[in-house]
Amino acid sequence: MAILLTSALMTSQAALSQTGVTDNADQNNHPDVSQTGETKYQFQLAIGNFLEQNILMDTVLTDTRLTFPRELDGPETYRWRVRVVGDTEGPWTTSTFRTRRPVSVEDEGEVPAAYVLSQNYPNPFNPTTVIEYALPVRSHVTLQVYDVLGRQIRTLVDSEMQQGYHRAVFDMGDLSSGVYLYRLEADPTDGSSLGKYVRTRYMTIIK
């Protein structure tokens, strides 16, 4: 499903002075666009920081409405930023948004195109967090939590599961604050030519 960012680019003034997606925008030192008369905006979308390899979209806009040309993966946290460009370049206005989707075996009959292990949310967390994953084919799944020394802390899933979107809820219990790893292993059991999928991500417990 396409995502429409309207409030971020509502007017030339709003493009540099309000965010509209989350409350995480940096709004300091924005130029007075009404005085500069600029009408073009550079927009960038990234996962993580704005290093070149993380940028998913980099475009110049003349309209205040932007629809992403493809569906974004979810759940995932994205960062976007926009600035006036032209004879002079204004400072970036930066904010974040998070894509989410309902995840269950009965997810309206949708079949994932590939294995995916998503970043847990919320993160950092206390006391619980949600881990979502997608299976393109029926697979035997193990989802386990480890500490940073590689010691297994807990097994959340160890069973054969149907294709589709799934979630597991992790309760920190009596674990101490710190960084932990969660690892998904999925091995097709339907005769598929897909190989075994293994992915590890990090999560943080705070108290």
The CATH number assigned to the domain holding 23 equals 2.60.40
Residues 197 and 124 in one domain: yes
Same domain, 62 and 125: no
Please say if the pLDDT value at position 92 is more than 80: yes
Considering the domain architecture, whether residues 86 and 12 belong to the same structural domain is answered as yes
Residues 70 and 150 grouped into a single domain: no
- Given 53, 73, 99, the domain boundary residue is 99
Query: How confident is the model at residue 72, as a pLDDT?
Result: 64
Confidence of residue 69 (pLDDT cuts 50, 70, 90): low
Does 84 lie in the same domain as 138? no
- CATH number of the domain encompassing residue 194: 2.60.40.1930
Are residues 93 and 180 both part of a single domain? no
Strands (DSSP E) along 22-173, which ranges?
Answer: 40-46, 55-61, 66-67, 76-85, 93-99, 116-117, 128-135, 139-147, 152-161, 164-171
Confidence of residue 47 (pLDDT cuts 50, 70, 90): confident
Is 105 inside a domain boundary? no
Residues 83, 124, single domain; the answer is no
* Residue 2 pLDDT > 60: no
> Is position 106 within any domain?
no
Q: What is the mean pLDDT of the chain?
A: 75
Q: Is 64 helix (H, G, I), strand (E, B) or coil?
A: coil
Tokens of 162: 């149907």
Among 46, 66, 99, residue at a domain's last position:
99
Average pLDDT over residues 123-149: 93
- The per-residue pLDDT for 64 is 65
* pTM, entire model: 0.52
Can you read off the two tokens belonging to residue 71?
Answer: 């569906």
Q: Which domain holds residue 8?
A: 4-99
User: How many whole angstroms separate alpha carbon 32 and alpha carbon 34?
Assistant: 5
pLDDT at 43 over 80: yes
- Pick from 3-17, 60-74, 152-166: least confident: 3-17
Structural domains of the chain, count: 2
pLDDT at 130 over 60: yes
Do 186 and 129 share a structural domain?
yes
Is residue 111 situated within a structural domain? no
Residue 190 lies in a domain: yes
Q: What is the mean pLDDT of residues 109-138?
A: 89
- Residue at 109 is within a domain: no
- Tokens at 74, concatenated: 């979810």
Query: Is there a domain that residue 110 lies in?
Result: no
What's the half-sphere exposure (Cβ side, CA atoms, 13 Å) at 106?
0
| Same domain flag for 67 and 142 | no
Q: What's the average model confidence in pLDDT over 170-181? A: 93
Phi–psi pair at 9, nearest 5 degrees: -125, 35
Compute the average pLDDT of residues 142-150.
96
Percentage of the chain beyond pLDDT 90 is 36
Q: Label residues 39-66 b or e (16+ Cβ within 10 Å = b).
A: eebbbbbbbeebeeeeeeeeeebeebeb
In this structure, the answer to whether residues 23 and 91 fall within a common structural domain is yes
Question: Do residues 93 and 120 both lie within one domain?
Answer: no
**Boundary-marking domain end, from 34, 65, 99:** 99
State the Cα–Cα distance between residues 115 and 111, nearest whole angstrom. Answer: 11
Q: Are residues 139 and 71 in the same domain?
A: no
Residue 17 belongs to some domain of the structure: yes
